[in-house]
């Protein structure tokens, strides 16, 4: 499955960097930050998977931001009382950056705390690619409740990979590997009692920056309907899904 829509751009300011704490077990590297959750917080789990020669050695960043489901917009600048706020250089608590820390690991999992609410995958960057991409045309969105450890999925970073038609493309291919992610959470947090897969909906939109703009859709996830997203969780995507080639740009 290939989805391409390209125009030039810059990135949304602000980030939450993962901590430097890191453990390695075989071909699995797990990076974590603040595993003890604060009140009104959950956590998001992201995996990086490099299972072929084309993805080996590639790194990347996924950018998630708080999303206002009712008004279909990012909630990035809603909080003005950030401690030590000094403009665009200050860490923005409404933006989470999941940056790969070990590009040679076959499987790598990152766990970041997230304040309860809805989050959209707003952008991505792949190493050696042509720059950051915004998914403002259509993005996956999901909810994090307090105390939950929510697994979004795994991505495989491709940079300039050659397609069957001879063209080259940059991609973050999506796959769902629930057992591996659950094992990563157990290793880092001691228990997977609060672990669940994200109730993903495709089709979240928001104002496009001056950036490479694309759509990113998770295979098998329903589209976000026009009415308000219901608070009750839809059926979970617990089955293993194969990677899909969701292209960021060509």
Mean pLDDT within 39-62: 93
Q: For 25-50, give the DSSP string.
A: ETTEEEEES--SPPTTEEEEEEEEE-
- Specify the DSSP element, H or E, that contains 213: strand 212-215
Q: 76-90, 219-233, 234-248: which has the minimum mean pLDDT?
A: 234-248
16/30: higher pLDDT: 30
Q: Residue 136 corresponds to which tokens in the numbers above? A: 């403002």
127/108: higher pLDDT: 108
- Specify the DSSP element, H or E, that contains 110: strand 107-115
Q: Is the pLDDT of residue 80 over 70?
A: no
Residue 201: the pLDDT is 95
- Per residue in 175-234, pLDDT tens? 999 999 999 898 888 888 999 999 999 999 998 876 688 899 999 999 987 444 444 444
Q: What percent of the chain has pLDDT over 90?
A: 44
- Per residue in 112-145, pLDDT tens? 999 999 999 999 999 866 678 899 999 999 999 9
CB-based burial, 126-144: b 16+ in 10 Å, e otherwise: beebbebbbbbbbbbbbbb
36/42: higher pLDDT: 42
Residue 79: the pLDDT is 58
DSSP 183: H
> Can you give the pTM of this predicted structure?
0.76
Q: How far apart are the C-alpha atoms of 180 and 18, rounded to whole Å?
A: 20
- Within 8 A by CB and 6+ apart from 83, the residues are none
Q: How far apart are the C-alpha atoms of 49 and 104, rounded to whole Å?
A: 10
């Amino acid at each position: 499955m290939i989805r391409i829509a390209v125009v030039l751009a810059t990135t949304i300011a602000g980030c939450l960097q993962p901590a430097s704490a890191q453990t390695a077990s075989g071909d699995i590297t797990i990076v974590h930050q603040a595993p003890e959750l604060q009140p009104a917080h959950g956590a998001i789990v992201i995996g990086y998977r490099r299972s072929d020669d084309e993805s080996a050695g590639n790194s990347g960043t996924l950018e998630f931001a708080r999303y206002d489901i009712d008004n279909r917009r990012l909630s990035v600048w809603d909080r003005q009382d950030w401690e030590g706020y000094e403009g665009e250089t200050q860490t923005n608590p409404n933006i989470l950056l999941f940056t790969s820390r070990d590009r040679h690991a076959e499987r790598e999992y990152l766990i970041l705390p997230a304040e309860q609410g809805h989050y959209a995958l707003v952008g991505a960057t792949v190493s050696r690619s042509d720059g950051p991409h915004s998914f403002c045309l259509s993005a996956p969105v999901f909810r994090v409740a307090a105390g939950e450890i929510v697994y979004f999925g795994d991505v495989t970073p491709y940079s300039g990979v050659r397609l069957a038609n001879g063209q080259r493309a940059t991609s973050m291919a999506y796959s769902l590997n629930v057992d591996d992610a659950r094992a990563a959470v157990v290793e880092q947090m001691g228990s997977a009692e609060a672990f669940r897969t994200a109730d993903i909906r495709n089709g979240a939109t928001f104002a496009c920056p001056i950036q490479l703009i694309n759509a990113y859709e998770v295979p098998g996830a329903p589209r976000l309907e026009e009415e308000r997203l219901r608070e009750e969780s839809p059926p979970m995507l617990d089955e293993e899904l194969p990677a899909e080639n969701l292209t960021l740009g060509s």
